[in-house]
Structure 1
Amino acid sequence: MALRWLCAMLLALPGVWGVCQQPPRFVFAEPPTPLKESYPTGIELRYKCRPGYVMASGKSPKVTCLSNSSWSATSDFCIGKSCGLPDIRNGKFNYTTNLLFGATITYTCNIGYRLVGKPSAQCVLKDKEVYWDNIPECDSIPCSPPPVIENGQLINGDRDFTFGMAVSYSCDRDFALIGNATIHCTVDDNLEGMWSGPAPECKVVRCENPKVKNGKRLSGFGTKHTYKNTVTFGCNPGHLLNGSGVVTCEADSTWKPPLPTCDPIYCGPAPQFLFAESERAVGDSSLAGTKLMYRCKPGYTAAHGMSSVVTCLSDGTWSADPDFCIRQECPHPMIENGDVIADNFLFETVVTFICHSGYELKKSSAKCVVSGDGVDWDTAPPYCKRQFPDVLCGEPPTIDNGMHNGGKDTEFVHGSTVAYKCNDGFILVGEAFLQCIARDQYSGVWNKPPPECRGGANIIIVGILPLLLAMLVMNI
């Protein structure tokens, strides 16, 4: 009896003889019925997709009892049906997985629309089909009628206004529109319709005729000025604009920014020049645009192509041509028996002089100075005086067959020169001129030995002998 009970227990244990217990259960599929308490190894059961699910492509709905008493099956062989894209006008939906059975989505509306209904939906089963259990609507957001204004009117204001629509205003004659002429329907944080701004005003705006001392108008001429009229100012010569040069007539009938001022511009003291002076006296300051005429100082003259007018500029500085006066030139000095040393002969130049040998300079320099309406040397040109005036040479040496031109004089002063010549038939050999030079401060001497006069025949023979020999050689 005990053995029979033990055998029954062993047969009932799973896996002992290769049997499987009841097949697995799936959310998406159901096994064939009726179910048994156990199944033998190798048996296959074909499952059927539950409502809301369909067979997955490429997968088998069969499960098999294995030799280890477990069931084998492919995963997710049934998948949920798709609810498809929900149709929501003027809106869109958001999802994080898919659109299959069991999925949940949320709705949002486009700008200018607000959601009417639940903000989410689920893909659910009904009558063995799936569908979205909720599709809300996106209604356009309306604005209340636009505000009316005094002394003006709406353009196309007799209609309903929703998000994005605009309305414009205009003013009656002689009234200016202050603010934005157009406002549009928008929304607040609570998705309630509201206008983008307040309605404009229609006002009478008149600004006084603007005037700026020492200034002038460059635009905006006329005497009547209304809202947003502009006037542009500039300053008269010698004045600097302080403030904005462009002003606008604003809603409170005043000019903004405030009218500018034209402040005078001054230069400092008139410039000083070494070569010129102003024709009239001026103070320590001069208004910009002031022109001063200068005249050249004595010793100077106007430079060609240069203006002697000096002008006070708008930046507070004086302008002038460079070196509009140049130095005058003295006559070129000359000195007998000497030379002048100088780079030029212009006003205030000092020149120096040197004498030739044998002469003594009595004054070494001269300066070019003012003289009348021009310039001249401050003194008469110096001269070169002969040195050693009492130094004498005796009678020049006499020569044979010749003579000198000293005549019968027996004394010759320093620097005297005599010339020698030969009688006919004789030729002069040596220096033809002798000069009396100083030996010391008391006596002189002739600077060279006298020449000689040699016989002319001997010289002719010496000179003609080579010619005769050449003629004999050539058999002439």
Structure 2
Amino acid sequence: MARPQPAPEKAGPLSDGPGTGIGSRAMELLWLCAVLLALPGARGDCQKPPRFAFAEPLTPLNESYPVGTRLMFRCRPGYTVARGKFPFIACLANSSWSENPDFCIGRSCGPPDIPNGNFDYQTDLQLGATITFTCDIGYRLVGKPSAQCEIDGNDVSWNNIPYCEIIPCLPPPVIQNGQLISGDRDFTFGMAVTYRCDEGFALVGDDTIHCTASEELQGVWGGTVPVCKVVRCDNPEVKNGIRLSGFGTAHTYKNTVSFECQPGHTMKGSNVVTCEEDSNWEPPVPTCEPNCGPAPQFPFAEAEGAVGDSSPAGTELSYHCKPGYTAASERSSVVQCQDDGTWAAEPDFCTRQQCAPPTIENGAVAAENFLFETVVTFSCHPGYKLKKSSSAKCVVAGNGVDWDPAPPYCERQPPEVLCGEPPRIDNGMHNGTNGKSFAQGSVVVYKCKDGFTLAGAAFLQCIAGDQRWGVWNQPAPQCRGGADVILVGIFPLLLALLVMNI
């Protein structure tokens, strides 16, 4: 059975914009859809389609259309086919038209040209959009402050584009005894004009004013218009001073003079003064006064805070006592620089602190006084011995003074122990023959003459005996020789033979 062929329709243009037609492949797909909808089994009709504000049908509309009908539209003036969409709707099998919203969109008016200004918008710049205008600083808007994108024939355009004009100023004020350097011309926002005074007059104030704008965007001159006055300041002189700049005797408005003082003097006031409009120097002309050299140094006190190499007359320096010293009563610790450049101070306004007088039982202390940094010496009475250091010094201790080291003490000594002359021996001698008495602990050594042998201890030591007398710790040895030696040698041998019963 042959496939039914639908009656051909006259196809109108798919778009009123250049280059927006549907391709041949797309047309084939559309015709295929129409054929399928016309096959047996398709039922129902579609009512007249709704009216679109952005498009109109190519042919007059009927009251109803069979399923499969495709209606083509063209975009109304001010609209163009949206990218990726086709201007048609189709009657579907459920007797409703296919959805294809906004297949035509408003054309763009594009950004407006507004020199020296700008525009603001909340959406795009398409048909129906509204924009507002602003001008750059120094310009004001001429025309309506907003515009709307409207249809203009077959296209769209802005219904109103204002322009920005530069804000003008009236001619600047005229001053007495002076004139404008700029001359006659038109004055607009941002321009500056400069004044100058006639000969013999000084310009008081800024010599330049600028054309600015008020809140109502009216041109006004910013700044204070200067005046031309006669200003003459007396020639400044500083005793004991040297002028560094501003030489000459004539001085007018805003002239400056700078000074420095001669060596040995200190400046009071500013070293630079300016001639002001009331013909006076501001600040007042300084003075140079004699100064004192570095702050005086004392062995007993030091200045409070940093002090420079020189100080002007009248300067007062406060001192505090160094450790080990204390403030003297009814004497001031303030040192003052006098008008003759010398420092004045009361003598010895700090005095040495005194250590407590040291005492030593069974001894004596030798010292001239007990003031700070004094050294004392100690000694013991007979029969006593000094323990610890024999001297001490009065030094700083905390907020006061004390002895260092602490004073010693005297320890009682036992009576001296003496031994008499060591015993003499025959055929021998000892090394203590030159002494008559020997202290406890003394040691003497014995030895025999040639041919004799020492029998007994060779060393004797003096040890304590009863009361104060000493004794030698063991009997004196003997020096033996000749037959005594032989007997002494044979006796041990005989004793051994007896024991062994030989």
1:286 counterpart (304, 328, 335): 335
Structure-2 change in CA distance of 1:460 and 1:89 (3 Å):
farther
1:264 counterpart (314, 320, 333): 314
Give, in angstroms, the shift of residue 116 of structure 1.
1.3
Name the amino acid aligned to 1:131.
Answer: S
2:145 counterpart (115, 119, 134): 119
Give, in angstroms, the shift of residue 165 of structure 1.
1.9
2:227 counterpart (201, 216, 234): 201
Give, in angstroms, the shift of residue 424 of structure 1.
5.5
Structure-2 change in CA distance of 1:81 and 1:454 (3 Å):
same
> In the aligned structure 1, how far is the partner of 2:91 from the partner of 2:153?
34
1:162 aligns with 2:185: no
Structure-2 change in CA distance of 1:159 and 1:362 (3 Å):
closer
Partner residue, 2:254: 227
Give, in angstroms, the shift of residue 31 of structure 1.
2.8
1:452 aligns with 2:478: yes
Q: Which deviations, in whole Å up to 9, do the C-alpha atoms of 1:130-179 show, x marking residues without a partner? A: 32222222111111122233444433343222112222334456655443
Structure-2 change in CA distance of 1:191 and 1:405 (3 Å):
closer
> In the aligned structure 2, how far is the partner of 1:453 from the partner of 1:222?
121
Give, in angstroms, the shift of residue 368 of structure 1.
10
Structure-2 change in CA distance of 1:29 and 1:353 (3 Å):
same
1:94-113 maps to which residues of 2 (within 5 A)?
94-113=120-139
1:148 aligns with 2:174: yes
Tell me the number of residue pairs that the alignment of Structure 1 and Structure 2 aligns: 372
Give, in angstroms, the shift of residue 115 of structure 1.
1.3
Name the amino acid aligned to 1:46.
Answer: M
Structure-2 change in CA distance of 1:249 and 1:458 (3 Å):
farther
Identity of aligned residues (%): 49
Partner residue, 1:44: 70
Give, in angstroms, the shift of residue 396 of structure 1.
6.9
Give, in angstroms, the shift of residue 180 of structure 1.
3.2
Asked whether the 8 Å contact 1:102–1:123 carries over to 2, the reply is: yes
Give, in angstroms, the shift of residue 83 of structure 1.
2.6
> In the aligned structure 2, how far is the partner of 1:48 from the partner of 1:166?
61
Structure-2 change in CA distance of 1:238 and 1:146 (3 Å):
closer
Structure 1 residue ranges without an equivalent (≥5): 1-16, 296-309, 311-317, 324-345, 370-386, 464-476
Name the amino acid aligned to 1:285.
Answer: V
TM-score under structure 2 length normalisation: 0.54
Name the amino acid aligned to 2:334.
Answer: S
Asked whether the 8 Å contact 2:333–2:346 carries over to 1, the reply is: no
1:185 aligns with 2:211: yes
Q: Which deviations, in whole Å up to 9, do the C-alpha atoms of 1:363-404 show, x marking residues without a partner? A: 9999899xxxxxxxxxxxxxxxxx889x996x9755444578
Secondary structure at 1:184's aligned position in 2? strand
1:319-330 maps to which residues of 2 (within 5 A)?
none
Structure-2 change in CA distance of 1:167 and 1:456 (3 Å):
farther
> In the aligned structure 2, how far is the partner of 1:138 from the partner of 1:406?
136
> In the aligned structure 2, how far is the partner of 1:188 from the partner of 1:101?
37
Structure 2 residue ranges without an equivalent (≥5): 1-42, 288-311, 353-372, 394-414, 490-502
Q: Which deviations, in whole Å up to 9, do the C-alpha atoms of 1:38-71 show, x marking residues without a partner? A: 4444433333333333333433333334455544
| Bigger Cα displacement from structure 2, 73-82 vs 346-355 | 346-355
Secondary structure at 1:59's aligned position in 2? coil
Asked whether the 8 Å contact 2:46–2:97 carries over to 1, the reply is: yes
Structure-2 change in CA distance of 1:274 and 1:60 (3 Å):
closer
CA-based RMSD of the aligned residues comes to 5.8
